[in-house]
Structure 1
Amino acid sequence: MDFEFSDRVRELQEKVSRFMDDHVYPNEHRFHEEVAKGDRWQPTAVVEELKEKAKAQGLWNLFLPESRRGAGLKNHEYATLCEIMGRVHWAPEVFNCSAPDTGNMEVLERYGTDEHKKEWLEPLLAGKIRSAFAMTEPAVASSDATNIESEIRKDGDSYVINGRKWWTSGIGDPRCKILIFMGKSDAKNPNKYQQQSMILVPRDAPGVNVLRMLPVFGYDDAPHGHGEVTFENVRVPASNMLLGEGRGFEIAQGRLGPGRIHHCMRLIGQAERALEKMCKRAKSRVAFGKPVADQTVTLERIADARILIDQARFLTLHAAWKMDTVGNKAARKEIAMIKVAAPVMACQVIDWAMQVHGAAGVSEDFGLAAAYAQARTLRFADGPDEVHRNQIGRLELDRWN
């Protein structure tokens, strides 16, 4: 792989970095203040203001091809921008590059009809609405998606949907107008990977009920949030089916491959930020007569953090490059590898940073506790570590048949 980027990509890297320096980092405190005041589930004024600034600078929909007013970047090129944006957990939304909207927009771009694109993709591209993805279920081990029990039943010119989902990210945002729902449309199909379908469900459809918002280590991630949702006899037009019945897994693989790259690179950005905070804190604090930075254990942890971050970055860029050159399927081992490596790395680096900060590390004064919660969550999201390790092991064994 050639790690040299084009002039255009380097220019985008510089522009996004400068935007973060000029507009995002100085407004971190304001963002948290706005969320803490009044209704936590309303969009923040600061993000809406910065979205307009990002649009004006051409830093918008960077993940999409040029044909949809995106930047037309390859996976390994966009990945570097993900890292920069990921240094602040709410920053990707400023550039209209936040999950689950990016994945949902990619699904609509690849598999949606012209009507789907007009009704849902266009306002998502414009940042006027948001979306959610309903896949995980509380009643079954959703790490094996064939376990999904929710039902999508054909009834004339409609589909009727019944099921219970949770960790439906984005459902708490009042701007959420559309969900992509995965359920079984043919539970008796002998091919278990052709039992599932994905279908578009408007947020305001009768029968869609949010039972509760689920906190992660005490963080509810307002105004975004992750909800437990029931679907009770929800009726949608048959035309809302994506790609066709039984093709849910096919869509999922197209959606999750790039999403895993994005998640991992954003985590690397979080880990870089944690290492920066760790170094600054270690140099500014004195313990037992000398700066914490001079303590051998601290130096070792800083060195190990640098090694772990760079390892994860190179692994992730290699996986993204392989997706670009040979496709998602051929890169499935590399994608699985980084999905294990990046969250584990981020949890360790952030943990070391918290330790250097002492009791302050578990407060919200430095943002490390929230960063740790997010990193730890990504050892489940998009498939748990165990599933990816099993896949890596099987693929490695296949080499020796």
Structure 2
Amino acid sequence: MDLSFSDSERAFQREVRGWFAANTPGHLRRKVVTGQMLNKDEIVQWQRRLDDQGYLVVGWPKEHGGSGWTPTQRYLFDLERAAANAPVGLSMGVIMLGPVLMAFGTEAQKARYLPRIRRCEDWWCQGYSEPGAGSDLASLKTSAVTDGDDYVINGSKIWTTYAHWANMMFCLVRTANTGKKQEGISFLLIEMDRPGIEVRPIVSIDGEHHLNQVFFTDLCVPRSNLVGREGQGWEIAKYLLTHERTSIAGVADSKAALANLYAEAARRRAGGRPLLDDPAVRIKLARAEIDLMALEYTNLRVLSSTAAGKAPGPESSLLKIMGTAVQQTLSELSVEFGGEQAWPWYASGALGETDHAHAMERYAFLRAATIYGGSDEVQKTVLARSLLGKTAA
């Protein structure tokens, strides 16, 4: 992509590039390149290292520890992080909950939780999806009934990422059953060590345990943990999801993955010649690159609108659809290029660690990319309604 940057922006880019080169541990780079999951301690220590440098909550306002960077600087920062094969860090608190608390939280909630998010002193999980509801969040049934100064919660959440590591959850609950189903939803903060919470593991198709089902049985949560007004949860959830879906596009990391694939295709040989000499391989890479360029331009337009003070709208759904499609395509190519080295039993170390040892795990995990964060079908409905509304107007 040919974009013009000022001398100061280029200097900023060089500074960021130098920091990642000097401060990204080699074992973390290796895990990112091969698609291996980081453990909890690795994520916490990396997030704290970023925060020490002022590189963690770069999208937050300055009064809450943000960088004050322009959208262009944030774009360049993410490109350099991904190009260095540095981890992205933990997103639940930084990208999702932080902006929600700034927009809807009380002063006490902001003072307590925002600094702890920055230092990864709280590990947050997201209590949204439920059995039988899935991407139809408005159909959730987990109830929160007022009892004095508490809510008493009963129900279940599913596909809860890292709930087994989390000490906190931001959760959608039903506080009313009258009117439209969207009107009776509220947004609560829940301490995970309270009596009445059970976390059961779900091992996904990639063989990893990062998902869980969480059960609430007569769980008492203080009413002071309510974010916003009672019944405002649907508005808050939509606000949060626009931030999640914009970030979930993963442009920078896909660009780094594509660069790694080009390097691998030039290095790996088949039939006595590099894979990159095969016209069919070049066509596949070119198609992926074209889709990624289109995604990047769309992402830049959204960032430009955000810089002008416009909150992300239905275009975040487009980013989510296309971003996850590109990620899936690149994961497929990694398995294809890896050949026998991408077979699942390579990850056990039986034949030695290679760049493709975890390619099949990554491929399997990303089958869910078109579902989590709101399925493609739901995102297309959002876009269709937006376009039809504009046409009608």
The aligned amino acid for 2:330 is V
Looking at structure 2, the residues matched to 342 and 199 of structure 1 have their Cα atoms a distance apart, in angstroms, of 30
Moved more, 123-132 or 242-251: 123-132
Cα deviation, residue 168, structure 1: 1.5
Whether 1:355 and 2:344 are equivalent positions in the alignment is no
Cα deviation, residue 62, structure 1: 1.5
Moved more, 104-113 or 162-171: 104-113
Cα deviation, residue 243, structure 1: 0.6
Looking at structure 2, the residues matched to 57 and 169 of structure 1 have their Cα atoms a distance apart, in angstroms, of 27
Looking at structure 2, the residues matched to 339 and 262 of structure 1 have their Cα atoms a distance apart, in angstroms, of 8
1:130 match: 123
Cα deviation, residue 147, structure 1: 0.6
Whether 1:391 and 2:382 are equivalent positions in the alignment is yes
The aligned amino acid for 2:245 is R
Aligned CA distance change for structure 1 residues 68 and 317 (closer, same or farther; 3 Å): same
The aligned amino acid for 1:340 is I
2:272 corresponds, among 266, 276, 289, to 289
Aligned CA distance change for structure 1 residues 351 and 100 (closer, same or farther; 3 Å): farther
Aligned CA distance change for structure 1 residues 398 and 106 (closer, same or farther; 3 Å): closer
Looking at structure 1, the residues matched to 284 and 25 of structure 2 have their Cα atoms a distance apart, in angstroms, of 26
Moved more, 23-32 or 293-302: 23-32
Looking at structure 2, the residues matched to 192 and 3 of structure 1 have their Cα atoms a distance apart, in angstroms, of 46
Looking at structure 2, the residues matched to 160 and 9 of structure 1 have their Cα atoms a distance apart, in angstroms, of 52
Cα deviation, residue 76, structure 1: 6.5
Whether 1:187 and 2:177 are equivalent positions in the alignment is yes
Cα deviation, residue 52, structure 1: 4.8
Cα deviation, residue 252, structure 1: 1.0
2:297 match: 314
Task: Report how many residues are paired.
Answer: 378
Moved more, 242-251 or 304-313: 304-313
Cα deviation, residue 12, structure 1: 5.1
Aligned CA distance change for structure 1 residues 78 and 193 (closer, same or farther; 3 Å): farther
Whether 1:228 and 2:204 are equivalent positions in the alignment is no
Matches within 5 A, 1:239-388: 239-264=224-249, 267-325=250-308, 327-328=310-311, 331-362=312-343, 363-364=346-347, 365-366=354-355, 367-388=358-379
Q: TM-score, normalised by structure 1?
A: 0.84
Moved more, 7-16 or 341-350: 7-16
Secondary structure of 2:377's aligned partner: helix
User: RMSD value over aligned CA atoms?
Assistant: 3.0
Deviations 1:356-386 (A, max 9, x none): 2212234553243344344433211221000
Aligned CA distance change for structure 1 residues 332 and 76 (closer, same or farther; 3 Å): farther
Deviations 1:88-122 (A, max 9, x none): 898222xxx52354311222222222222333322
2:159 match: 167
Unmatched tracts of structure 1, length 5 or more = none
The aligned amino acid for 1:204 is D
Looking at structure 2, the residues matched to 49 and 192 of structure 1 have their Cα atoms a distance apart, in angstroms, of 41
Aligned CA distance change for structure 1 residues 86 and 288 (closer, same or farther; 3 Å): closer
Matches within 5 A, 1:76-155: 78-85=74-81, 91-93=87-89, 98-138=91-131, 140-155=132-147
Aligned CA distance change for structure 1 residues 4 and 163 (closer, same or farther; 3 Å): farther
8 Å contact from structure 2 (residues 207, 361) kept in 1: no
Looking at structure 1, the residues matched to 70 and 233 of structure 2 have their Cα atoms a distance apart, in angstroms, of 25
Cα deviation, residue 25, structure 1: 6.2
Cα deviation, residue 11, structure 1: 5.1
8 Å contact from structure 2 (residues 151, 221) kept in 1: yes
Q: TM-score, normalised by structure 2?
A: 0.85
Looking at structure 2, the residues matched to 85 and 172 of structure 1 have their Cα atoms a distance apart, in angstroms, of 28
Deviations 1:286-340 (A, max 9, x none): 3223222111111112222221111111112212322443633xx5231111111
The aligned amino acid for 1:269 is A
Looking at structure 2, the residues matched to 185 and 89 of structure 1 have their Cα atoms a distance apart, in angstroms, of 44
Looking at structure 2, the residues matched to 74 and 296 of structure 1 have their Cα atoms a distance apart, in angstroms, of 41
Looking at structure 2, the residues matched to 373 and 88 of structure 1 have their Cα atoms a distance apart, in angstroms, of 24
8 Å contact from structure 1 (residues 100, 169) kept in 2: no
Looking at structure 1, the residues matched to 239 and 25 of structure 2 have their Cα atoms a distance apart, in angstroms, of 33
Cα deviation, residue 270, structure 1: 3.2
Aligned CA distance change for structure 1 residues 122 and 202 (closer, same or farther; 3 Å): same
Secondary structure of 2:331's aligned partner: helix
Secondary structure of 1:119's aligned partner: helix
Cα deviation, residue 7, structure 1: 6.4
Cα deviation, residue 72, structure 1: 2.8
Aligned CA distance change for structure 1 residues 216 and 73 (closer, same or farther; 3 Å): farther
Secondary structure of 2:190's aligned partner: strand
Aligned CA distance change for structure 1 residues 241 and 322 (closer, same or farther; 3 Å): same
Moved more, 82-91 or 300-309: 82-91
Unmatched tracts of structure 2, length 5 or more = 348-353
Looking at structure 1, the residues matched to 221 and 133 of structure 2 have their Cα atoms a distance apart, in angstroms, of 27
Deviations 1:179-236 (A, max 9, x none): 1110110112x1322110011111111111102244353222xxxx222100111111
Secondary structure of 1:91's aligned partner: coil
Aligned CA distance change for structure 1 residues 252 and 195 (closer, same or farther; 3 Å): same
8 Å contact from structure 1 (residues 5, 77) kept in 2: no
Cα deviation, residue 79, structure 1: 4.8
Aligned CA distance change for structure 1 residues 199 and 88 (closer, same or farther; 3 Å): farther
Looking at structure 2, the residues matched to 372 and 88 of structure 1 have their Cα atoms a distance apart, in angstroms, of 22
Secondary structure of 2:153's aligned partner: strand
8 Å contact from structure 1 (residues 182, 197) kept in 2: yes
